[in-house]
Structure 1
């Protein structure tokens, strides 16, 4: 999660406010962790920020997430349609594509290509098939305050 989009080969960007009640070290993560709502077929980022952060498929098929404190997703975006089957996250019963960008990867050695993630059912772009493995988090998993 970085810049309101989901990526491969790009660092996760998080933020924790400097408030004494929030221990800064407990809300830092280098992982992008999701929270799936089965009855609603919706997906969120696992955060503690009030209001949370919704994951959605933008009108162009790109997998994005809302900024903290807003539910705005843009025209033509879809927030429902996520599911889990055979241990993998799906959207509209299909997988995802990793589409190469012109950005250089910053993981692990600033070489290579950064890839944006798209819902395969909502784009005509060419990319590599990509699967999110769904695993149940245990009670020691610490959420980010918010993703940026």
Structure 2
């Protein structure tokens, strides 16, 4: 009897103790909010910020000599871990890439193409992808232990900007942030 109890619990113990790796490569970010807003969708890069329910501002400049824009038809906002631990960049082809950062007002933001310039007080490190062992073990994204929120845009009641930490905005909703493996074929995003 003791042998059957041990043998029946051993597979369960082994499955719990074996950590599953976080996938490498690029990924999308989707948000989920249940109260007071009901949101669930992929966020998009648009004019320097990240948005729920707003089209991406992907771009491939036709005027660049030798650049074949047919290779970069993508509009999907994908991310990749930066070369420095705790950093994140957009998964784009533009030389120099586009760094993701938290602006002084808390807005999740990204740099303009061909520029590493950041506003004074911007924070670039603190991003962390991890596997949550609840609800099917999804890959989550966090930033330095701060909450991530979606705040309504003044331009439309259905558009929300993504912020890190508290904001002075009204009607913001705390969101879960999921990192889903994907790829991108976008050249750059305007900022």
Residue 73 (structure 1) aligned with residue 112 (structure 2): no
Correspondence for 1:14: 58
- Give the structure-1-normalised TM-score: 0.82
How far residue 17 of structure 1 moved from its aligned partner, in angstroms, is 2.1
Correspondence for 2:85: 40
Work out which of the two has the higher radius of gyration on C-alpha atoms and give 1 or 2.
Answer: 2
The structure where helix makes up a greater share of residues is: 2
Please list every run of 5 or more consecutive structure 1 residues that lacks an aligned counterpart in the other structure.
105-111
Q: How does 1:1-148 map to 2 (within 5 A)?
A: 1-18=45-62, 19=64, 21-37=66-82, 40-85=85-130, 86=132, 87-104=139-156, 112-120=157-165, 123-126=167-170, 127-137=172-182, 141-148=183-190
**Counterpart Cα distance in 1 of 2:76 and 2:147:** 20
Please list every run of 5 or more consecutive structure 2 residues that lacks an aligned counterpart in the other structure.
1-44, 133-138
The alignment of Structure 1 onto Structure 2 pairs a total of residues equal to 137
How far residue 131 of structure 1 moved from its aligned partner, in angstroms, is 2.8
Does the aligned pair in 2 maintain the 1:38–1:83 contact within 8 Å?
Answer: no
Q: Which moved more, 1:91-100 or 1:15-24?
A: 15-24
Over 4 Å off, 4+ runs: none
**Counterpart Cα distance in 1 of 2:168 and 2:144:** 15
Indicate the RMSD between aligned Cα atoms, in angstroms. Answer: 2.0
